[in-house]
């Protein structure tokens, strides 16, 4: 019951009401993810024209074509991951961006926050832009990059971004990714406070 009340309190506060000192600790952020409202489909729209999904969907060209995706961000790119690459989508005329990330709490995914957010932002602003972000399961690496995009370009707090995405898709970035997203939240809050 206490957990639900903590989440409810976090949801009630607006981004303007929160400051960097009110960001829940990583353990509380992790617990927020356990109360799922979203789905576990192969892909789900988590923000207008922004989809989050898994490797099965990433390899299903017919599915991708039926959704008219213009951009794909593979958060599990590389030889030992989901090795599709731009050439895999050539006939679909999809703009591809690969991030060679590993789903490990010690992996520094934060170096990809800004480049991935920029790719998503530019893709959504392209004519007819529709983005599919994926990793192996669509819950950790890709989810972390989508959360970073919402924080950087949509000016959401980490809590707001988690609530927004989790309503549409069950996500669970690993604890290391959550810690890095929390640090991003603190950094962005300080930057934005300085601009006011």
Go through the domains of the chain in sequence order and give each one's CATH number: 42-195 (3.90.190.10)
Q: Is 6 exposed, middle or buried (0-12, 13-18, 19+ CB in 10 A)?
A: middle
Report the pLDDT value the prediction gives residue 36, as an integer from 0 to 100.
65
What strands, in cross-sheet order, belong to the sheet with 131-134? 43-47, 50-53, 131-134, 71-74, 95-98
Query: Which member of 52, 120, 135, 144 is catalytic?
Result: 135
Is 0.95 surpassed by the pTM of this model?
no
- Per-residue pLDDT tens over the stretch 27-76: 899 888 887 677 879 999 999 999 999 999 999 999 999 999 999 999 99
- Per-residue pLDDT tens over the stretch 6-26: 444 444 444 444 444 478 999
Element containing residue 66 per DSSP (H, E)? helix 61-66
**135 a catalytic residue:** yes
Residue 162 to residues 21, 29, 87, 154, 186, Cα–Cα distance (Å): 18, 8, 33, 13, 15
Q: Using CA of residue 79, residue 83, residue 87, residue 93, what is the dihedral sign?
A: negative
């Amino acid at each position: 019951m206490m957990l639900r009340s903590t989440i409810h309190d976090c949801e009630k506060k607006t981004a303007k009401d929160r400051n960097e000192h009110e960001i829940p600790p990583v353990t509380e952020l992790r617990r927020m993810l356990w109360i799922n409202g979203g789905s576990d489909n192969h892909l789900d729209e988590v923000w207008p024209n922004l989809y989050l999904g898994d490797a099965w969907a990433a390899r299903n060209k017919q599915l991708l074509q039926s959704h008219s995706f213009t951009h794909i961000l593979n958060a599990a790119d590389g030889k030992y991951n989901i090795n599709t690459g731009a050439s895999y989508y050539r006939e679909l005329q999809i703009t591809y961006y690969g991030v060679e990330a590993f789903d490990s709490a010690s992996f520094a995914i934060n170096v990809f926050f800004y480049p991935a957010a920029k790719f998503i932002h530019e893709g959504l602003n392209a004519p007819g832009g529709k983005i599919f972000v994926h990793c192996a399961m669509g819950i950790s690496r890709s989810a972390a990059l989508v959360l970073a995009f919402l924080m950087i370009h949509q000016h959401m707090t980490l809590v707001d971004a988690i609530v927004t995405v989790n309503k549409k898709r069950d996500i669970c970035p690993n604890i290391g990714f959550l810690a890095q997203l929390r640090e991003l939240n603190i950094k962005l809050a300080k930057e934005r406070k300085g601009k006011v």
